[in-house]
Amino acid sequence: MPLILDGRSVAATLREELRAGVREFQQQYSSPPRLDVVQVHGDAASDWYVRAISRACQHVGITFQLAQLPADIEQDALIAQIQQLNARPETHGIIVQVPLPQHLDGAAVIDALDPRKDVDGLHPVNLGRLAQGLPALVPNTPAGGMELLRHYNISLAGKHAVVVGRSNIVGKPMALLLLQEHATVTVAHSRTPNLAAIVGSADVVAVAVGRAGIVTGAMLKPGAVVVDFGINEMGAGQVVGDVDYGSAAEVAGAITPVPGGTGPVTNMMLLRNVLHAARAQQL
């Protein structure tokens, strides 16, 4: 049986640490850290996520504020709203819910964020700082994957880590974080031939593709550590990862389940970014 990297239990520990950190911040600065979420038009998935963030903030004492904007809002008006939040000292963290409607330029909207308040870690300044090994607000999902590995004392120095997927929000920052921990990193993507051979040479495999079963047990080196970021809705309320859990668990040395692996830790990383951002803005 592999070691199960239990995201729910790690998230519970992190929640307590964050609650204490938020209390300390409030005592020192008289008001709690505050997160503002900007949501253009609601869809069911986005509404669900916003509610989950609101609850998570409430649990640790972070103030949560939601601005819901109409679906036909113009680019300039949305950017003006973000600039207002950038300028407001009580707001420490800002999230713009994606995807945005077609007529809006997502990259320009992210660019408009004050990088010091960009708690999703999407601004080019934050990804650039991460690439240079400087302190940065790191995207929550890969930060959560690293936190799981740290929690279970999985050593990375000198290990071959393969990241499957190269998005700016998961794969690319995960590769940079693994590199920072001195792993030898290979990044695979849709143009990578012979994924099986590359995955088979990995001591650590992190998968962020969005395709159920793209990595199977037959591809893994025995004892490999598997971090699965995938979230694939299979209907009837069933959610699976990108890794075929059944076959992978027979070969892996450690593995994240889906659900209950990287997901619960991701939200805690968001709250931690808000607290870090709030502290940094007091200096």
Residues that bind ligand NDP in the complex, under the rule CB under 6 A: 141, 164-167, 169-171, 188-192, 195, 208-211, 229-232, 262-263, 266
Instruction: Give the residue with the Cβ less far from ligand NDP, 23 or 51.
Output: 51
Contacts of 252 (CB under 8 A, 6+ apart): 2, 217, 220, 223, 224, 225, 226
Smallest gap, in angstroms, from Cβ of residue 231 to ligand NDP?
4
Q: Using alpha carbons, select from 201, 191, 194 the residue that is nearest to residue 162.
A: 201
Question: Which CB sits closer to ligand NDP, 164 or 252?
Answer: 164
Smallest separation (angstroms) from ligand NDP to the CB of 89: 30
Query: Which residue in the shown chain puts its C-beta closest to ligand NDP?
Result: 167
CB of 229 to ligand NDP, least distance (A): 4
Between CA 213 and CA 183, with CA 168 as vertex, the angle to 5 degrees is 75
Tokens 């609601």, residue located = 42
Q: How far is the CB of 270 from ligand NDP (least distance, A)?
A: 10
Closer to ligand NDP by Cβ: residue 63 or 266: 266
Q: Give me the torsion for CA of 174, 180, 184, 188, rounded to 10°.
A: 20
Closest approach of ligand NDP to the CB of residue 103, in Å = 21
Nearest to ligand NDP of 91, 120 (CB atom): 120
207: closest CA among 195, 194, 223?
Answer: 195
From start to end of 44-181, where are the E strands?
63-69, 93-96, 160-164
Backbone angles phi, psi at 121, to 5 degrees: 70, 35
C-alpha torsion angle, residues 207, 209, 213, 215 (rounded to 10):
-40
Of 175 and 183, nearer to ligand NDP (C-beta) is: 175
Residue with tokens 């971090």: 227
**Residue 36 Cα distances to 92, 93, 142, 271, angstroms:** 8, 6, 22, 12
Cα 49 vs. chain centroid, distance in angstroms? Answer: 13
Residue 29 CB, nearest approach to ligand NDP (Å): 30
Shortest Cβ 168–ligand NDP spacing (Å): 8
Q: What are phi and psi of 58, to 5 degrees?
A: -60, -40
Choice between 231 and 249, CB closer to ligand NDP: 231
Q: Are the beta carbons of 216 and 250 closer than 8 angstroms?
A: no
Nearer to ligand NDP by C-beta: 60 or 219?
219
- Least separation in angstroms between CB 242 and ligand NDP: 6
Nearer to ligand NDP, 136 or 143 (CB): 143
